[in-house]
Amino acid sequence: MSHNTSVLSITLNPALDLTGQLEQLKIGKVNSITEANLHPAGKGVNVAKVLAELGAKVTVSGFLGLENASAFEHLFESQGINDEFIRVAGTTRTNVKIVEANGEVSDLNFPGFSVDAADIASFEQKLLELCQHHSYVVFAGSLAKGVSPEQLADWIRLAKAQGCTVLVDTSGAALAAAIKAQPSMIKPNQDELEELFQQQFSSVEAIKQACEDLAKQDIQHIVLSRGEQGSLWLHQQQWLQAQPPKMKVVSTVGAGDTFVASFCWGLLQQFNATEQLNFATAMSALAVAQANVGLPAAEELERVLQQTTITQH
Ligand SMILES: Nc1ncnc2c1ncn2[C@@H]1O[C@H](COP(=O)(O)OP(=O)(O)O)[C@@H](O)[C@H]1O
Ligand SMILES: O=P(O)(O)OC[C@H]1O[C@](O)(COP(=O)(O)O)[C@@H](O)[C@@H]1O
């Protein structure tokens, strides 16, 4: 089969997100949750869901625990997502998200299952096959225990060697290794950038300088996401800045994933740079106004697209 514009979204360490809402979290006390929700997630799964709802042809892969795969399988079936996850022994982790009435989120992200050499070999074989049928590959989220950062870098190189455009959203040692493999796009937030450079950035100028240093390593798109302050995007030595409107925050979980999915959609649709950043910003801003990731109503999207400002920086 020849290359097409379908997307392969890889989650090496997916999660069920257990989201609980309460008025205010009291650390070290008994906290009563008023509303709870459990749903299949993890960065690449969220990216896949948003892309599928936008209308992209999406395949998911990575590792999935055999013992609790059904919620994921149900999601993929209902969204028309092609499920190519490698099943591994054990359960997929559950991550806990505590959302307070003011929109503040506390994330408890757990380590997840371990994968062995046979799981890794099966995934690598699968990746090689899938890259031959997909133009875009997204690697998103943390690594399962047993997968080294260098392994991730090798898989990025493998996907690139098959002619795929590779987008990466990860952090820590995995991000540092991924950069060496020169993906097309990375999307650190400020904390992740500071961890990468092992230094604090006290000004936007310092952040931009760090991103410009990264761009010299031949990474086409560097997006620095900044929560409610939007983002800065470095592409072809030009900086664009996005500022979303003020949103009523329900939960910020999944905003980054929605940004990555929408940015990828912009590449697929060959939007111009301003359109692309506007779209990714409006979609991710709307993601914070809802509990889960997913497509907003068309009129809401139109309104936020118009309220988002894109400027040269
Ligand atoms: N409070 C918010 N209001 C409006 N948009 C937001 C808000 N939080 C996040 N976003 C949007 O989502 C994008 C990703 O959010 P961010 O928090 O930077 O990502 P991550 O969760 O990966 O750290 C931002 O660049 C912005 O477009
Ligand atoms: O793989 P990691 O880095 O542990 O992150 C997993 C968590 O990230 C999420 O995908 C949310 O990510 P964002 O808020 O950055 O979009 C959750 O669904 C999941 O629990």
Rounded Cα distance, 280 and 266, in Å: 8
> Residue 103's pLDDT is what?
84
Q: Which atom of ligand 2 is nearest to the CA of 15?
A: 20
Query: 188 near 171, Cβ under 8 Å?
Result: yes
- Which of the listed residues 279, 288, 304 should we mutate to test ligand 1's pocket, taking the one with most ligand atoms within 8 A of CB? 288
Catalytic residues: 257
> Residue 102's pLDDT is what?
86
Q: Where are the beta strands (DSSP E) in the chain?
A: 7-11, 15-22, 35-41, 58-65, 82-83, 86-88, 93-100, 105-108, 136-140, 165-169, 185-186, 221-225, 231-235, 238-243, 309-312
- Which of the listed residues 207, 225, 240 should we mutate to test ligand 1's pocket, taking the one with most ligand atoms within 8 A of CB? 225
> What dihedral do alpha carbons 152, 157, 162, 167 form, nearest 10°?
70
Q: Sign of the C-alpha dihedral, residues 313, 273, 293, 108?
A: negative
Q: Which atom of ligand 2 is nearest to the CA of 45?
A: 10
**Domains recognised in the chain with CATH numbers:** 8-25+34-312 (3.40.1190.20)
Per DSSP, 145 falls in state B
Query: 311 near 240, Cβ under 8 Å?
Result: yes
Range 156-162, long-range pairs (CB < 8 A, 24+ positions): 156/181, 156/182, 156/183, 157/181, 158/124, 158/127, 158/128, 158/131, 159/8, 159/127, 159/131, 162/128, 162/131, 162/132
pLDDT in tens, 43-85: 999 999 999 999 999 999 999 999 999 999 999 999 999 999 9
Pocket around ligand 1 at a 6 A CB cut-off: 189, 225-228, 230-231, 244, 247, 249, 252, 255-256, 259, 281, 284-285, 288
Q: Report the separation in Å between the CA atom of 10 and the middle of ligand 1, taken as the mean of its atom positions.
A: 21
pLDDT band at 4 (very low <50, low <70, confident <90, very high): low
pLDDT in tens, 76-100: 999 999 999 999 999 999 999 999 9
> Residue 61's pLDDT is what?
98
> Residue 2's pLDDT is what?
40
Per DSSP, 244 falls in state P
Q: Is the CB of 20 under 6 A from ligand 2?
A: no
Rounded Cα distance, 23 and 101, in Å: 5
Q: In sequence order, what are the residues at sequence separation of 6 or more whose Cβ sits closer than 8 angstroms to the Cβ of residue 184?
A: 165, 166, 167, 219, 220, 221
Q: Is the CB of 109 under 6 A from ligand 2?
A: yes
pLDDT in tens, 175-209: 999 999 999 999 999 999 999 999 999 999 999 99
Predicted interface score ipTM higher than 0.95: yes
Record the tokens describing residue 220, joined without a space: 């086409």
